[in-house]
Amino acid sequence: MKKEIAAKALKLGLKILFGLFVFAFLALFVASKVTTSPIFLFNKTTMWVMTQSMDPTIPPRTYILVEKATADDVEVGDVIVFRSTDPRIKGNFNTHRIIAKSGNTIVTKGDNNDQDDGIYSAKPEDVVGRYVKKLGFLTFLGRVVMTPIGFAVLLILFIITMSFSVFPDVKEAIAVKTEEDEKKKSDEIRRLIDEEVQRLKESGAGLEDLPPTDKKSEKGGE
């Protein structure tokens, strides 16, 4: 019985993890579109590169892994993420390579751009991270989700998965737990009744005064 319960719990746990993964991806996708600050977990985060300025190192519409870093952590040759002061994308993040660095001066340039960023290069206080690698699977999902139809399909698949896979198991688990709780409650009530019966017997009370019980009466046989 315990092995069967453990197997069901494991199965349910895996389904919930899958559902949480899909939900987390959707939440991350939405957050990446509305947040003005990267959300780092264990000093790592993901970001969505939209333009072709870093192509072919980072093709347009690519998810990348970024590690948290400051201006002191990066050097020439690193691809960094920084808040841009360029009026065209001011407030948003830019992902370009450092081509020169001296003191507080950092010169950045997109690999696919003809010129460096000039006055719109990274300021030391605006550096937030360093590019680590491309994320192929998330990129594929991101490109699907970027389309309204793709986002709707993924959301529907998530709901269907939860409805037909996880929710029934949760309902069954709740039913089993309720049944177990009812049994424990019934056993506890029976135990209290038996204790009271024993107490009354020991105190010399008449059997006719005893509360009803399913035990056979000790008076007059069966």
Asked if 160 and 119 touch (Cβ cutoff 8 Å), the reply is no
Angle (nearest 5°) at CA 203 between 196 and 212: 35
In a domain, 219, yes or no: no
What pLDDT, on the 0 to 100 scale, is given for residue 169? Answer: 64
Print pLDDT tens along the chain (222 aa). 556 666 666 666 666 776 677 666 666 655 555 455 677 888 998 888 989 999 999 999 998 999 999 999 999 999 999 999 998 887 789 999 999 999 889 999 999 999 999 999 999 999 999 999 999 988 887 787 777 777 777 778 777 766 666 666 666 667 666 777 777 888 888 888 888 777 777 776 555 555 555 544 444 444
Beta-strand pair 127-134/44-49: unpaired
In a domain, 216, yes or no: no
Nearest Cα to Cα of residue 109 among 69, 139, 101? 101
DSSP state of 119: G
128 and 164 both lie in a single domain: no
185 and 135 both lie in a single domain: no
Residue with token string 């201006």: 71
Rg (CA), the chain: 32
Asked if 124 and 71 touch (Cβ cutoff 8 Å), the reply is yes
What pLDDT, on the 0 to 100 scale, is given for residue 144? Answer: 78
DSSP string of 185-206, one letter each residue = HHHHHHHHHHHHHHHHHHTT--
Domain boundary among 105, 129, 146: 146
pTM of the entire structure? Answer: 0.58
Q: What CATH number is given to the structural domain containing 113?
A: 2.10.109.10
59 and 41 both lie in a single domain: yes
63 and 121 both lie in a single domain: yes
Domain boundary among 146, 164, 197: 146
The domain total for the chain is: 2
43 and 140 both lie in a single domain: yes
111 and 157 both lie in a single domain: no
3 state DSSP class of 65: strand
In a domain, 200, yes or no: yes
62 and 137 both lie in a single domain: yes
What pLDDT, on the 0 to 100 scale, is given for residue 222? Answer: 47
Q: Structural domain of residue 74, as residue ranges?
A: 37-146
Asked if 154 and 144 touch (Cβ cutoff 8 Å), the reply is yes
50 and 127 both lie in a single domain: yes
117 and 51 both lie in a single domain: yes
Domain boundary among 119, 146, 173: 146
Nearest Cα to Cα of residue 116 among 93, 89, 94, 92? 94
In a domain, 213, yes or no: no
In a domain, 218, yes or no: no
126 and 153 both lie in a single domain: no
Nearest Cα to Cα of residue 125 among 104, 107, 139? 104
